[in-house]
């Protein structure tokens, strides 16, 4: 069985989507529709903007969503998923691609999410770091021992790669402790703030009302959601998990493992560089087939 997976923030690149816009009338129409929905020409930044402009959260998230969605839409009959999943922001794309959200409603939610998260980042000094070569349980133990600051697991990407999130002081405190406890390497990340942590509570509060008001219908296939790495098709469960997602960790490694256990043997990454999730999937299970659309 084949699943389609959708990347999140970090998969953007300069000129993203320009080839689609210029080669496909259907893609061009979707990009122009997105410009109208947003009320500004996101395509100008996507196609010609600088790296710095494209990495602003308020731009990155709708841009990554849009490019992935256009690829899924123009795939036509080729897009026949047995299941879908998305990494963080990519979960919104997965839901829209599977018909749980309309293109317009999903794009509006993503734009609201991006602005809310950017505002939350500006409220406190917070950041993230990637912990490499260490068991998840040991990373969790070290984080729990830092009681004077907030430091939590944020992205369970692959076995041996867990991203932590927290206050700037907390992450600075965690890095030497993790290295002393046996981490192969701990890399501070150049991000806007502590995503998937309690620092995103203001963004969650702001977005919750919009998600609760959104029309969500049963998707055409199971959607594996970040908060618990399990398949969902019930609209109300999907809604609740989307709200929880902003402050909960992304359980990507567990998601891929659960999808493989359910019989998914082939994964197709849709959008971005096409290499981010593919690389993770191969590290999670070398027997799985991973390609890009």
| Domain co-membership, 133 together with 117 | no
Looking at residue 275, its pLDDT comes to 87
Report whether pLDDT(112) > 90. yes
List of residues 6+ apart from 19 with CB closer than 8 A: none
**Average pLDDT for residues 264-273, to the nearest whole number?**
94
| Domain co-membership, 232 together with 288 | yes
**Average pLDDT for residues 125-149, to the nearest whole number?**
96
**Of 137, 166, 189, which marks where a domain is finished?**
189
pLDDT tens digits along 56-89: 888 999 999 999 999 999 998 889 999 999 999 9
Domain span at 163: 126-189
Cα 205 from Cα 131, distance rounded (Å): 29
Whether 67 contacts 17, CB under 8 Å: yes
Closest-CA residue to 277 (of 99, 102, 85, 141): 85
**Average pLDDT for residues 171-184, to the nearest whole number?**
96
| Domain co-membership, 239 together with 114 | yes
Biggest alpha carbon–alpha carbon distance for the chain: 56
Would you name the residues annotated as active-site residues? 88, 196
**Of 165, 189, 213, which marks where a domain is finished?**
189
Buried b (16+ CB within 10 A) or exposed e, 107-119: bbbbbbbbbbbbe
| Domain co-membership, 112 together with 225 | yes
Bridge partners, residue 167, by sequence: 126
Looking at residue 124, its pLDDT comes to 92
Specify the DSSP class assigned to residue 250. Answer: B
β-sheet with 223-224: strand ranges across: 231-232, 223-224, 83-86, 2-6, 266-269, 289-292
pLDDT tens digits along 13-47: 899 999 999 999 999 999 999 999 999 999 999 99
Report whether pLDDT(248) > 90. yes
Looking at residue 140, its pLDDT comes to 97
**Average pLDDT for residues 128-138, to the nearest whole number?**
97
Kind plus residue range of the DSSP H or E element containing 244: helix 235-245
Based on its alpha-carbon atoms, the radius of gyration of the chain, rounded to whole angstroms, reads: 18
Closest-CA residue to 46 (of 16, 90, 69, 66): 16
Angle subtended at Cα 88 by Cα 85 and Cα 91, rounded to the nearest 5 degrees: 35
CATH number for the domain including 176?
Answer: 3.30.70.250
Whether 142 contacts 183, CB under 8 Å: no
Looking at residue 158, its pLDDT comes to 97
Closest-CA residue to 188 (of 200, 201, 198, 179): 179
| Domain co-membership, 108 together with 222 | yes
Please give the mean pLDDT across all residues of the chain: 95
Looking at residue 224, its pLDDT comes to 98
Q: Above pLDDT 70, what percent of the chain?
A: 100
Q: Above pLDDT 90, what percent of the chain?
A: 90
pLDDT tens digits along 178-217: 999 999 999 999 888 999 999 999 999 999 999 999 999 9
List of residues 6+ apart from 40 with CB closer than 8 A: none
């Amino acid at each position: 069985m084949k699943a389609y997976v959708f990347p999140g923030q970090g998969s953007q690149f300069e000129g993203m989507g320009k080839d689609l816009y210029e080669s496909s009338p259907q893609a061009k129409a979707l990009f122009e529709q997105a410009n109208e929905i947003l009320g500004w020409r996101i395509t100008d930044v996507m196609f010609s903007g600088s790296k710095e402009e494209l990495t602003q959260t308020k731009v990155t998230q709708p841009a990554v969503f849009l490019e992935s969605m256009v690829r899924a839409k123009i795939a036509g009959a080729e897009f026949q998923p047995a299941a879908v999943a998305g990494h963080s922001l990519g979960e919104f794309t997965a839901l829209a691609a599977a018909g749980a959200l309309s293109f317009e409603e999903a794009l509006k939610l993503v734009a609201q999410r991006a602005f809310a998260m950017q505002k939350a980042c500006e409220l406190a000094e917070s950041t993230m770091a990637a912990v490499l070569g260490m068991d998840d349980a040991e990373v969790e133990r070290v984080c729990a021992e830092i009681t004077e600051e907030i430091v939590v697991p944020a992205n369970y990407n692959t076995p041996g790669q867990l991203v932590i999130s927290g206050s700037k002081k907390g992450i600075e405190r965690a890095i030497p402790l993790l290295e002393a406890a046996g981490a192969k390497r701990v890399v501070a990340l150049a991000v806007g703030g502590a995503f998937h942590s309690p620092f995103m509570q203001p963004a969650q509060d702001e977005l919750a009302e919009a998600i609760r008001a959104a029309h969500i219908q049963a998707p055409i296939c199971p959607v594996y959601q970040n908060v618990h790495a399990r398949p969902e098709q019930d609209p109300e469960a999907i809604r609740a998990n989307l709200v929880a997602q902003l402050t909960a960790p992304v359980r990507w490694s567990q998601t891929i493992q659960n999808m493989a256990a359910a019989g998914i043997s082939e994964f197709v990454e849709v959008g971005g560089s096409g290499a981010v999730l593919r690389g993770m999937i191969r590290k999670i299970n070398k027997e799985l087939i991973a390609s890009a659309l």
